[in-house]
Amino acid sequence: MTAANLFSPMSIRSVEIRNRVWVPPMCQYSSFNRDGMPTNWHLVHLGSMAVGGAGLIIVEATAVSADGRITVHDSGIWNDEQRDAWAPIVEFIHDQGSVAGIQLAHAGRKSSVRPDWNYAGAAGPMPVSEGGWVPIAPSSIPFDGESSTPREMTRGDIDRIIVDFTTATQRAVQAGFRVLEIHAAHGYLIHEFLSPLSNRRTDEYGGSLENRARLLLRIVDVVRAEAGEELAVFVRFSATDWVEGGWTPHEASTVARWCADRGVDLFDISTGGNVTGVSTGGNVTGVAIPAVPSYQVTFSEQVKRTAQVSTAAVGLIFDAEVANGIITSGEADAVLLGREHMRDPHFTLRAAGELGIEIDYWPEQYLRARRRTPAVGLAAGEVAF
């Protein structure tokens, strides 16, 4: 069998993805009317990367409820109007040969904050008087002073979250999404339940790993049921909190195996986001994250090997050769490039040329701009331009 490379197609259930160059969820904070509706910005932002050849495009963290948003400008899929607004964006992505996925999310204690860049006021929590709300979380522990103190969730709240993920999945399927990703990373609600640093509960949702994973596993069950047997279901994990006493790669691998046994097809492996500092004996120690190129790939490889599951790697991956090496080495089954796709929405087309790989999905409208090399048909003496 020939080893996979960056441009090998990938089949997940009935979903055919043309390559292993994927676009991760990237929050745009561009639902400017505070109604959770995707806009023309989303169409052009996502559509340009589909034109540019990406195999899978996962739209930004999309709230399953209004109070599950990070900011008032987040997109959502908690009502039918939002579903109907997503549908033409999904259709355009699919018309270009890419696959459209959606990340279903609840921000938990990191919700109701001001956006970084499109709000005139100061950063920090958005008060109720300005349209914010009181966040909810597994325990009443704020996110390192950067958000409001959340209300500890009741069992009724937990049951409501399950309903919200159920109805959001139904709408996502109706909108045409082919990949459904559950956001269990970056310190948002599900990650808050998984990590002992943010979950101090004493009921069946706290304490042991089995208990801390209970919410995620319930969500996996309903998303898998609503997705049916044809569509792909992913989970995004932060594989570590980067601090002693927090969520660990071993725990991530264990829970990944439990999720796979319940029908999850692939794990999108990131890290961090749950704490920025840890208090020990009255001293606060900052979380040191070695954010160098490809710094999270090792966690993808560890979860893949330990849990015997498919994974995707993410985190400061910029270069076509490096991305290809991650696939050919078996460290991950796909790579997700966020910043590089924002810099160059046509990264995939460029990468194929750089790697000397022939692809047949250059948009016809752009063929005159295609750079050719000897590996992709440049005749002797012909100039590549």
Amino acid, single-letter form, for residue 223: V
pLDDT, residue 385, reads 46
- Give catalytic residues, as residue numbers: 188
Digitized pLDDT (tens) for each residue of the chain, 385 residues in all? 457 799 999 999 999 999 999 999 999 999 999 999 999 999 999 999 999 999 999 999 999 999 999 999 999 999 999 999 999 999 999 999 999 999 999 999 999 998 766 555 567 888 899 899 999 999 999 997 567 899 999 999 999 999 999 999 999 999 999 999 999 999 999 999 999 999 999 999 999 999 999 999 999 999 999 999 999 999 999 999 999 899 999 999 999 999 999 999 999 999 999 988 654 444 445 677 777 788 889 999 999 999 999 999 999 899 999 999 999 999 999 999 999 999 999 999 999 999 999 999 999 999 988 876 555 555 444 445 4
Tell whether 199 is covered by a domain.
yes
pLDDT, residue 231, reads 98
E strand residue ranges, 64-125 = 99-105
Tell whether 381 is covered by a domain.
no
Domain count, the chain: 1
CA distance linking residue 291 with residue 150, whole number of Å: 29
Tokens of 61: 């963290």
Domain that holds residue 326: 10-376
- CA-nearest of 117, 124, 116, 156 to 143 is 124
Strands 179-184 and 99-105: parallel
Contacts 24+ apart (CB under 8 A), 84-87: 84/175, 85/37, 85/38, 86/38, 86/59, 86/172, 86/175, 86/176, 86/177, 87/174, 87/175, 87/176
Tell whether 305 is covered by a domain.
yes
Angle in degrees, 0-180, between the axes of helices 320-328 and 347-355, rounded to the nearest 10? 70
Tell whether 141 is covered by a domain.
yes
Q: Return all residues near 28 (Cβ < 8 A) that are at least 6 apart.
A: 41, 42, 45, 60, 75
Q: Is residue 217 classed as helix, strand or coil in its secondary structure?
A: helix
pLDDT, residue 159, reads 98
Tell whether 5 is covered by a domain.
no
Tell whether 385 is covered by a domain.
no
Instruction: Give the number of other Cβ atoms within 10 Å of residue 127's Cβ.
Output: 13
Tokens of 352: 């194929």
Tell whether 383 is covered by a domain.
no
We report the CATH number of the domain holding residue 202 as 3.20.20.70
E strand residue ranges, the chain = 10-12, 15-17, 21-23, 56-63, 99-105, 136-137, 151-152, 179-184, 232-238, 266-270, 277-280, 283-286, 311-314, 334-336
Q: Return all residues near 256 (Cβ < 8 A) that are at least 6 apart.
A: 235, 237, 264, 267, 303, 307, 309
Tell whether 276 is covered by a domain.
yes
